[in-house]
Chains A and B, each alone.
Chain A
């Protein structure tokens, strides 16, 4: 029954390889399909041209669509999926709550409020200042949840606090939109709030990818500490973990990742909830494997979800939040049901 360590290791390597290949295939698919039909040879050529491997003539518009639009979009989708999944895994472990994730806890709503304030009330502009605004909003929502759950993170209190935070910050966002935006701004903000990868280009790729890589490294550095939280904070402390420091560092990293993603593509729900559970099912609860697994599976899931969003009602694009929610809500119900049985 018990597999040898080498066998487990080999299975791990093969599995990781398969997911990475699947991710590449998904990104290639995302690049190959779209409203503008571009033959596969020109798609490949546009790609290799930009990498400096070939110099085949491709119409400039097609090359721009392939490289600046579709590839950038799918890479941002991959980073977002990875970032949200890692955030979910961290929150679930730190708060010891299987239902925790940025969206459910209202952190995404807080980030939206922050980003919308920057957008409409004009505290500067551009991707960076949007992220800063979102980060501020995410931290405010976090503080709200922690204060409201009264420092005691029992499962139901935390979720209730999260519901209150979502309501409050969504109301604030709507208030800002209805008082400060003109009709066109309001429409675009509403669309952005449902989640959309439209309009992301290479600067967003750089920002989201670097935040995810840095976030993942910091989280993996704390993987053992996260394992030590299995039986709660006192148990972690008695194993020599600096509980307060680890919590603050990891909650900040989570808020930063969530805020960056929300500021770019809006609040996308349920990825942070679904992916960590799926990843745990595959690699088990140890964080040193769980976190990279979340990153890979989350990236794959989001790229595929974006493809679905683009082809279901083509040439129009569904908001990505609709796709993730349609997958996520049934999953959420299953976890809720099982958590109730376990209690």
Chain B
């Protein structure tokens, strides 16, 4: 499923946070959204997930304006993993993943074998099938992120949107999550901080600065020394890695 934004603009009070951003992700592609802190990544993610209405412009999902989908209809197509999930409730891993089936069920329809199968598969996918009865508050940050990813997968979406899924995770868990996400055949959009990981795992990179889209395209075209200097204010040396053939960015202090 294709997701695109057409000149979306969003303000917080009178401050422009997202300014006329036009971008699109093709079916099955992974788009990495990069940019310094406060560049509007999270706000753009919320607009793309349909959680906020843009002041101008629109988000188009599969040729149809996102706002013409019903809420549940949209939730069956687009799933979101937030940067940080917190709850006071004493829920188990299973409880959380089962929430993913919410948009597929009406108010009183019973839980079906199909729902069970999808939830089990999602848990399997993130490698937490043996932890289903563990309580949420006993999980580590990486495990919580994987549980939320499983919940998103249980929504059976076509588009997966992630807001800095690797934040606060150690390097092994960062790679685990990104591998998992990019191996799925879903259309994926993620905000991501680490430029090397972005280069390694994304098909397309979109660069945001001060709410505006500065550049977008394949990593090798976008992640240049000039762009990194102008957007992030850091001198860098960009080369092709001998180990994986992708870009390798070294920061020169």
Given A221-B107, A221-B108, A224-B105: A231 touches B46 (CB 8 Å cut-off): no
The CA-CA distance from A284 to B95 in the complex, in Å, is 10
Q: Are B85 and A235 in contact (CB under 8 A)?
A: yes
Asked if A280 is at the interface (CB within 8 A of a chain B CB), the reply is yes
A152 to chain B, nearest CB (A): 13
- In the complex, what residues of A have CB within 8 A of residue B50's CB? 238
Among residues of A, the one whose C-beta sits closest to the C-beta of B100 is A239
The CA-CA distance from A12 to B121 in the complex, in Å, is 28
Asked if A286 is at the interface (CB within 8 A of a chain B CB), the reply is yes
Those of A159-190 within 8 Å (CB) of chain B: none
Asked if B86 is at the interface (CB within 8 A of a chain A CB), the reply is yes
Asked if A34 is at the interface (CB within 8 A of a chain B CB), the reply is no
Asked if B103 is at the interface (CB within 8 A of a chain A CB), the reply is yes
Size of the B side of the interface (Cβ < 8 Å), in residues, is 35
Q: Are A230 and B89 in contact (CB under 8 A)?
A: yes
CB < 8 Å neighbour of B51 from A2, A237, A286, A342: A237
- In the complex, what residues of B have CB within 8 A of residue A232's CB? 85-87
B84 to chain A, nearest CB (A): 10
Among residues of B, the one whose C-beta sits closest to the C-beta of A155 is B88
Those of A1-16 within 8 Å (CB) of chain B: 1-2
Q: Are B71 and A240 in contact (CB under 8 A)?
A: yes
Segment at the A interface, from B14-22, B75-83, B182-190, B242-250? B75-83
B120 to chain A, nearest CB (A): 13
Q: Are A228 and B133 in contact (CB under 8 A)?
A: no
B85 to chain A, nearest CB (A): 5
Against B, the Cβ 8 Å flags (1 = close, 0 = not) of A232-246 are 101101111110000
The CA-CA distance from A224 to B95 in the complex, in Å, is 12
Asked if A157 is at the interface (CB within 8 A of a chain B CB), the reply is no
Among residues of B, the one whose C-beta sits closest to the C-beta of A227 is B99
Q: Are A234 and B75 in contact (CB under 8 A)?
A: no
A253 to chain B, nearest CB (A): 15
- Looking at B71, B73, B79, B133, the one whose CB has the most chain A CB atoms below 10 A away is B71
Q: Are B71 and A234 in contact (CB under 8 A)?
A: no
Asked if A96 is at the interface (CB within 8 A of a chain B CB), the reply is yes
Asked if A42 is at the interface (CB within 8 A of a chain B CB), the reply is no
Given A96-B87, A230-B89, A285-B89: A240 touches B72 (CB 8 Å cut-off): yes
The CA-CA distance from A235 to B49 in the complex, in Å, is 11
Q: Pull 22 A–B residue pairs with CB atoms less than 8 Å apart, ordered by A.
A: A1-B133, A2-B133, A93-B89, A96-B87, A97-B88, A228-B99, A230-B89, A230-B99, A231-B87, A232-B86, A234-B46, A237-B51, A238-B49, A238-B78, A238-B79, A239-B75, A239-B103, A240-B74, A241-B71, A284-B95, A285-B91, A285-B95
Query: Which B residues fall within an 8 A CB radius of A?
Result: 46, 49-51, 70-76, 78-80, 82, 85-91, 95-96, 99-100, 102-103, 105, 107-108, 132-133, 137, 155
For the complex with contacts A237-B51, A342-B88, 19 further pairs of A-B residues with Cβ separation under 8 Å are A2-B133, A96-B88, A221-B108, A227-B102, A228-B99, A228-B102, A230-B87, A230-B99, A231-B86, A232-B85, A232-B86, A234-B46, A239-B75, A240-B71, A240-B73, A240-B76, A241-B102, A339-B88, A342-B137
Query: Which A residues fall within an 8 A CB radius of B?
Result: 1-2, 93, 96-98, 221-222, 224, 227-228, 230-232, 234-235, 237-242, 280, 284-286, 339, 342
